[in-house]
């Protein structure tokens, strides 16, 4: 599957439910993405890292 399509699906999921960092790791491994891809999405303002109860979650920062 195309990397941009997968990134779009991550944004779709994050727009309705925060994604726990441990789940994001599984998603990255399943679709052959890296943390650089997620960092890029955070830098672009598409995703936001949120700290809650000692854990990191990713939420959709913008509508796409």
Residue ranges covered by each domain of the chain: 3-45
Q: What is the pLDDT of residue 49?
A: 96
When comparing pLDDT for 62 and 19, which is higher? 19
Q: Computed over its alpha carbons, how large is the radius of gyration of the chain?
A: 11
With tokens 């809650």, the residue in question is 52
Helix (H, G, I), strand (E, B) or coil at 45: coil
Q: Summarize pLDDT for 3-35 with one digit per residue, the tens.
A: 999 999 999 999 999 999 999 999 999 999 999
Q: Rounded distance, CA 49 to CA 53, Å?
A: 13
In this structure, what token pair is assigned to residue 28?
A: 């990255």
For the entire predicted model, the pTM comes to 0.86
Please tell me the distance from the alpha carbon of residue 44 to that of residue 22, in angstroms, as a whole number: 22
Residue 12 sits at φ, ψ, to 5 deg, of: -60, -45
């Amino acid at each position: 599957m195309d990397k941009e399509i997968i990134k779009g699906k991550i944004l779709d999921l994050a727009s309705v439910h925060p994604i726990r960092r441990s789940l994001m790791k599984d998603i990255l491994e399943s679709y052959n993405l890296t943390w650089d891809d997620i960092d890029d999405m955070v830098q672009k303002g598409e995703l936001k890292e949120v700290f809650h109860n000692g854990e990191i979650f990713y939420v959709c920062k913008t509508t796409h």
